Chain A
């Protein structure tokens, strides 16, 4: 028996890994495409020794053995090279000779992925496919006095408002009217130039421009924290863009410099205080992705990790910080642009909201729930930190109802919307719970970029710049795989289909003349506790 060699605590077999690569020797042509495409080099060409017994059918020759070799695929078991399940190998294999399969047992990799004392960091979402939003049904179907509307032929007004709305009672007494944008209620949430590849970013921007200018859908896109390409800042398309400022202030030198040359005001300014994927943690762009272009736009050296601080430098208290930053940003654009904070879903959201309610310059509150996605975060933050969005939004809305300001401060909900593909249903549920609009990021990557990430811990390597689809990579060899024109087409596809589905939801409820914000009587759920918590109907 051959010795097995040295066994260390972290010696794992393919069986111990979350994804196991199955390879079929009979089908394999040894073309090498799979090993070339694997983003984490989980597989390599293997030269296998094989012993063959030779038993001649005569008595003159003695039986013997022949040693031969064959070539094939080996799966590495080093935690640094563990298969991520992206299945790019299967995608490129001409013969369907290889595929990853999910291990049935709980993997052992999770106990060894902190090599060097570094906890796991990754991209993606919380690794949990469950979603309360998916459980919510729309139960108030117009069947009696009000026949259901025709989603295909009826006219619908489904725009929402982004901006501070003044109290109706003070109509005609307003000294200053805050800027308000009439926009589409599905917003592309902040994914930075840097987190996303140039091709993905370009595709999104093209798609958004097309939706606005050819399809009449006033779709808006947030930049995330990474600045904005100089040409876009100086273009008429800036009006479709929400510029985000976060605690690292990346890219804001460039934005401030571009101010005098801007042809249009941006749609809004989003001040990021937190995000759902890593609440209480700052943004993170790992060094792998900080190339020359990203460094230039962000105003930083190349090849260094860019962890934003968890808080803004100005932050002494949330009240002071929000007030100061909203004031500064409002002043920069002459009070013509709505400015609003984005926070992580948290049980302290109401404190922030109440503070905003008293600040008449605050244009909205965006809340990003625990299922929000990210380009890079610690696994522990992704999986365990944060507040579910449904009850957070509901509480916030009902709190506004209590103080009579439900129309004055729009609540924007984010985090896990459409994570199981039910984008319109999830968005409509949140709107009826009280959100004025919803933001999606990961869904955009999946539907428009072809992102392979999933909540069973598939792929999720957005952080290291090796995205096999070129969505979150800054390596031209990878991002050139992604055709921006095709991304733009998919952006248009997904918004048009979302629009139809949203109508298919609101039409049977008899709603068409305004977005049914807070129409909670339309909602039901078969979980009694959830129904009680969300103040909606319990239905079985």
Chain B
């Protein structure tokens, strides 16, 4: 089963905090992969807030091709964090030429674009590069978005951190860190199947298995939205449903919970918002997940949240103290991330709950589906 840790902190912290937490949860994962999502960046990247950051893995040829393509599109590099590890990779990790995180200046022609158009174009550029890279495996592109860094690789998280030299890298400090250990083993090993998943500022990671995957995937892909692709993992749909809820339905996190795990028909009858909820359940019926899943995610406004499926629940706990909170799939992961918290205030969301911590990092908000 996947192990998940997400930390949100007023003060930027090193991703190693999350990786060490993953390591103590190792009992439950097989060390087959690591995904890291960093946003609300501290360190060097903070000074480039607002500029798009591209994260990916490249062959040397791929890197050259990337440079050629990006400059042809009018992007200019503002800052580049690039590492080409020397020596043999850890067992199970493929030998790669280069891992890069590159900050670009927008092309001059983009300056007058609306925010929406700019976001759309960023996504299309990411998709184009991903597709290009897939042809010869020269590029794996994980995100191309302001204030977001994504690192993914196959292998044991702790060994990967050593290999990539993440320890002590001040540049990578962030206020929001989401980390997942274990490659997707439900389907073929594929780097794009590694959580967290990202689309236009929305990121989620999940443990469990999404048994309703295929009809959900069909529904999302039939929206004709170019970003709804991939699905090497059954968990990617959780990110896209979150995006769909916000971008297409113009609704928030509460609606997201009602969409993926609607109340039963009998429960809806007893709910004060029954008419709206019934309508929502009808029109979003193909997006009902059938779990068991625990979803941890982050919104563009840096709100971090956790929801459970409505039947069997995967482990999930949130705890911390004002200034710093962590969402973890295991209690021991939470202990490793924030040992000094008041454990009596830890909270494990149940099937009706959504828990969230806003960018203020002052409290854990608990919301139940039974509330108006």
Mark A residues whose CB is within 8 Å of B: 140, 142, 144-147, 149, 154-155, 157, 159, 161, 165-169, 171-172, 177, 180, 182, 401-404, 406-407, 509-514, 516-521
Contact = CB atoms under 8 A, between A and B. Distances in A.
B291 A146 contact: yes
B144 interface: no
Nearest to A403: B222
A404 B224 contact: yes
Q: Which 6 A-B pairs have the closest CB atoms?
A: A510-B211, A145-B209, A404-B222, A146-B209, A514-B288, A518-B215
Given A144-B186, A509-B211, A510-B209, A518 B218 contact: yes
Contact of B218 (A157, A406, A509): A406
B286 A171 contact: no
Contacts of B284: 168, 407
A166 to B, nearest CB: 6
B209 A142 contact: yes
A406 B214 CA distance: 13
Given A407-B283, A518-B218, A168 B288 contact: no
A511 B212 contact: yes
A146 to B, nearest CB: 4
Given A169-B248, A177-B279, A401 B209 contact: no
Nearest to A154: B311
B78 interface: no
A512 B214 contact: no
A332 B211 CA distance: 42
A519 B216 CA distance: 9
Of residues A168, A180, A512, A520, which shows the largest number of chain B Cβ atoms within 10 Å of its Cβ? Answer: A168
A114 B269 CA distance: 59
Nearest to B280: A171
Contact of B249 (A169, A404, A511, A512): A169
A161 B283 CA distance: 10
Given A168-B248, A509-B211, A401 B218 contact: yes
Contacts of B291: 146, 510, 513
Given A518-B215, A521-B214, A166 B289 contact: no
A415 B284 CA distance: 29
Given A155-B264, A404-B223, A406-B286, A149 B311 contact: yes
A510 B219 CA distance: 20
Contacts of A510: 209, 211, 290-291
A402 B290 CA distance: 23
Interface in B180-223: 186, 207-209, 211-215, 218-219, 222-223
Nearest to B310: A513
B134 to A, nearest CB: 23
B63 interface: no
Contacts of A509: 211
B311 A513 contact: yes
B39 interface: no
B93 to A, nearest CB: 23
B274 interface: no
Contacts of B264: 155, 157
Contact of A168 (B261, B262, B283, B289): B283
A175 to B, nearest CB: 14
A157 B264 CA distance: 7
Nearest to B221: A401
Contacts of B309: 513
Contacts of B288: 513-514
Interface in B308-323: 309-312
Nearest to B217: A521
A406 B222 contact: yes
Q: Select the residue from A147, A509, A518 with max chain B CB neighbours within 10 A.
A: A518
A503 B133 CA distance: 44
B228 to A, nearest CB: 11
Given A155-B264, A169-B248, A512-B311, A407 B286 contact: yes
B265 interface: yes
A407 B285 CA distance: 7
Given A157-B265, A513-B311, A171 B249 contact: yes
13 contacts: A145-B209, A146-B312, A161-B282, A168-B287, A171-B280, A403-B222, A406-B222, A513-B290, A513-B310, A514-B285, A514-B290, A517-B286, A519-B212
Contacts of A182: 265
Contacts of B186: 144-145
Contact of B208 (A145, A167, A513): A145
A145 B1 contact: yes
B209 A180 contact: no
Contacts of B52: none
B183 to A, nearest CB: 13
Contacts of B213: 521
A516 B215 contact: yes
A50 B101 CA distance: 106
B292 interface: yes
A162 B288 CA distance: 18
A167 B311 CA distance: 27
Contact of A519 (B207, B214, B279): B214
Interface string B239-262: 000001000111100000000011
B295 to A, nearest CB: 14
A267 B249 CA distance: 30
A177 B223 CA distance: 21
A441 to B, nearest CB: 27
A397 B255 CA distance: 27
Contacts of A521: 213-214
Given A167-B283, A171-B249, A519 B310 contact: no
B215 A166 contact: no
Contact of A520 (B207, B214, B251): B214
B285 A165 contact: yes
